[in-house]
Structure 1
Amino acid sequence: MRGLLVELTRLRWRRAVLLLLVAAVVLPALLLAGTAWSTRPMSESDLDALLVDRYAQREVTRCERRPERFSDERGETIEASMCREMVADWYGGRAPLRPESELDGTVLAAGTLVLALVLLMGTTFVGHDWNTGSMSNQLLFEPRRGRVWATKALAVTLTCLLLATAVLSAYWWGLVTLASARDITVPDGVVGDGYGQALRTGVLAGATALGGYALTMLFRSTVATVGVLFGLAVASGALLGIVGQTTQRWTPPLNVAAVMQGDVTYYDESALTPACRSGTAGPEEDCSAESTITARDGGIYLGSALLLACVASVGSFRRRDVP
């Protein structure tokens, strides 16, 4: 426990880490503010400016006469009082806030942003020890390298997990509260889905920070770690093609999205039979190219990669000389 407190203190006093912590809070807050502004209700003057077109006015008149023939984005019948806003939206008006749509939009964007920042936290935290040569001094006080590795890993993982979960939960709470203040109905189950996504992303953030830490302990360089991860993210599709895999199933970004969102649907024509590809398949044959990656599938994929990185990192740290 004492070693963990020491590492948490060391983490807290890293100025680069503090800047990343602040960014992980401020940037999602700015994103939330931007979402609130871009989805603000239109005033009467805004509606009048958009509905000057005679075709728009005709649509409003038709809607107000027979509102039961029109429906909103959710497929629900609208009231006559909602016709002006609906038609204005067709003609370039601001779309109203839809929390259920934000799960795949700004909530996902905020989660991705936080993941990138905690990755930098994990690699920056221990990269400083290698750059300054303080790692050898730390081993003088605690010569058991396995314990040193584990204590540092636990400190950065817990910090990033709790930070990401708190930030993303607060982001989702802000969206739901904003919708409530604007009298926007949130469908049943959506609120729980949002907090579930925040929790999954928080766990993924802890694993991401651990992965960045493990690779930096392996390469002993922050720059090398960031370069390798950037190369894998950009060239993962090409690398899979070289080894004969054409499916997107094994690309890291898709598996990350699956964990964050709960599941992801992608198109995989490589799994189709020749009859499906040529259009000669019978009606009893399933020729759908859609496949789904669940959060469990993505977690197993990413967890396996993380386990390999940690094993290699611990083995290297215990056996290689420390300058």
Structure 2
Amino acid sequence: MTRLFAAEWSRLFGRRVTLVTLVLIGTLLALLTFGFTLTRSTPTPVEIELAKSSAASAGEIWDRNVDRCSKVQSGLENAEPGESFPRGCDYGPRPTPDSLLDYGFSFHRQWPSLYYTAAIVLAVAGFVLGASFVGVEWSSGGMATLLLWAPRRGAVLGAKLLAACAGVGLISVVYLGLWTAAFMAVAAGNGTVSQMTAGEFGSLLLTGVRVVVLALAGTTLGFSIASLGRHTSTALGVGVAYLMIYELGTLVLFSVVQTVDYSQKFRLSSYIAAWLTKRFTFEADAGHCRTGCVPEAAGFSGSWQQGGLVISVVVAIVVAAAFVAMRRRDAR
């Protein structure tokens, strides 16, 4: 198994598609960094003082709203007629001077969206690399040749999958490190990096871990689907079909028929969003449906634990199917 893994590891980084993928995601990082550099500007002392004053006033209002909501939802106080509160007293983050400053790039304010962008890039890259890594072996006949030398089908497929995941994991960690360093360098001119607390840096690291895990999940899905179809194009076709027909198709369908069905519950993208952002909430809009309406107060929300569980189950099912097919079908 060790020799198989070492051989597959070398083959992964010797493939042109891997090198092209690295160049593409590196180019994307360079372009984004350059773009944010153009929008960077340093706030003036007057703007900083005004932001501090506005944040203090907004913070007091935020505190009162959260306190009032908590008391009402816990039953300590009764709501006034016409008074409504967001689900879970979610008024968003407490206003800070940095969030109210109207200037260009701020790492402190914008790092979550930057990491979510990196997650999409790495998950797609992992899906393509995983699919092509095993798909080309099947389509070229290399898998049949390899099984003559190492007839243990499960071990061969497992070594390939492990090498693909380890390679993508390494690429993701290095890429996220460069991604963070690049944007922190852009923000350094604004002095915004120093405003992040230890807790916020901890949240950044945990988000980075979730991004890497998502990239590994994408790699595993691409690898397993391509192994089932024995061709790279199978995985790419399934991925595009799922996005275009199911994710976008159902969105268009439910918007046309105007019925609230919580279709988000049955979309993998909802749970990916919950995994990355730590929660996902969909509020029902009963005022725009004709039939089958749900109560106006109803809604659907998911936590990052729920998102991780759903993603894990989907990946596990597809991987199990790939290994079962590997054992049962001929190698040609």
Structure 2 CA distance, aligned partners of 1:164 and 1:70? 39
Aligned position for 1:8:
9
Identity, % of aligned positions: 23
Aligned position for 2:140:
132
CA deviations over 1:245-267 (Å, ceiling 9, x no partner): 53312311121122222223332
Q: Does 1:310 align with 2:319?
A: yes
Of 230-239 and 247-256, deviating more is 230-239
Q: 1:67 to 1:245 in 2, by over 3 A?
A: closer
Structure 1 CA distance, aligned partners of 2:137 and 2:268? 29
Structure 2 CA distance, aligned partners of 1:300 and 1:197? 17
Structure 1 CA distance, aligned partners of 2:211 and 2:227? 24
Q: TM-score scaled by structure 2?
A: 0.73
Q: 1:65 to 1:196 in 2, by over 3 A?
A: closer
Q: Which secondary structure state, in structure 1, belongs to the residue aligned with residue 195 of structure 2? A: coil
Q: 1:107 to 1:40 in 2, by over 3 A?
A: farther
Task: Please say if residues 165 and 201 of structure 1, whose CA atoms lie closer than 8 Å, have aligned partners that are also in contact.
Answer: no
Identify the match of residue 329 of structure 2 among 308, 320, 323.
Answer: 320
- Post-superposition shift, 1:295? 1.6
Aligned position for 1:267:
283
Structure 1 CA distance, aligned partners of 2:243 and 2:137? 26
Task: Please say if residues 29 and 171 of structure 1, whose CA atoms lie closer than 8 Å, have aligned partners that are also in contact.
Answer: no
Identify the match of residue 142 of structure 1 among 135, 139, 150.
Answer: 150
Structure 2 CA distance, aligned partners of 1:193 and 1:253? 22
Aligned position for 1:199:
209
- Post-superposition shift, 1:138? 0.5
Task: Please say if residues 28 and 110 of structure 1, whose CA atoms lie closer than 8 Å, have aligned partners that are also in contact.
Answer: no
Q: Which secondary structure state, in structure 2, belongs to the residue aligned with residue 6 of structure 1? A: helix
Q: Which secondary structure state, in structure 2, belongs to the residue aligned with residue 182 of structure 1? A: coil
- Post-superposition shift, 1:161? 1.5
Identify the match of residue 118 of structure 1 among 101, 126, 130.
Answer: 126
Aligned position for 1:281:
none
Aligned position for 1:53:
none
Task: Please say if residues 157 and 210 of structure 1, whose CA atoms lie closer than 8 Å, have aligned partners that are also in contact.
Answer: yes
| Number of corresponding residues | 279
Structure 2 CA distance, aligned partners of 1:64 and 1:133? 65
Task: Please say if residues 119 and 214 of structure 2, whose CA atoms lie closer than 8 Å, have aligned partners that are also in contact.
Answer: no
Structure 1 CA distance, aligned partners of 2:207 and 2:308? 14
Q: 1:101 to 1:234 in 2, by over 3 A?
A: farther
Q: 1:76 to 1:311 in 2, by over 3 A?
A: closer
Q: Does 1:38 align with 2:48?
A: no
The residue type equivalent to 1:195 in the other structure is L
Identify the match of residue 247 of structure 1 among 232, 254, 263.
Answer: 263
Of 15-24 and 100-109, deviating more is 100-109
Point out the structure with max Rg over C-alpha.
1
Q: Does 1:17 align with 2:28?
A: no
Structure 1 residues not aligned, in runs of 5+: 44-59, 79-84, 90-94, 278-286
Q: TM-score scaled by structure 1?
A: 0.75
Q: Which secondary structure state, in structure 2, belongs to the residue aligned with residue 103 of structure 1? A: helix
Q: 1:258 to 1:36 in 2, by over 3 A?
A: farther
Structure 2 CA distance, aligned partners of 1:24 and 1:156? 17
Structure 2 CA distance, aligned partners of 1:312 and 1:98? 45
Aligned position for 2:274:
258
The residue type equivalent to 1:196 in the other structure is L
Task: Please say if residues 123 and 217 of structure 2, whose CA atoms lie closer than 8 Å, have aligned partners that are also in contact.
Answer: no
Structure 1 CA distance, aligned partners of 2:9 and 2:48? 62
The residue type equivalent to 2:10 in the other structure is T
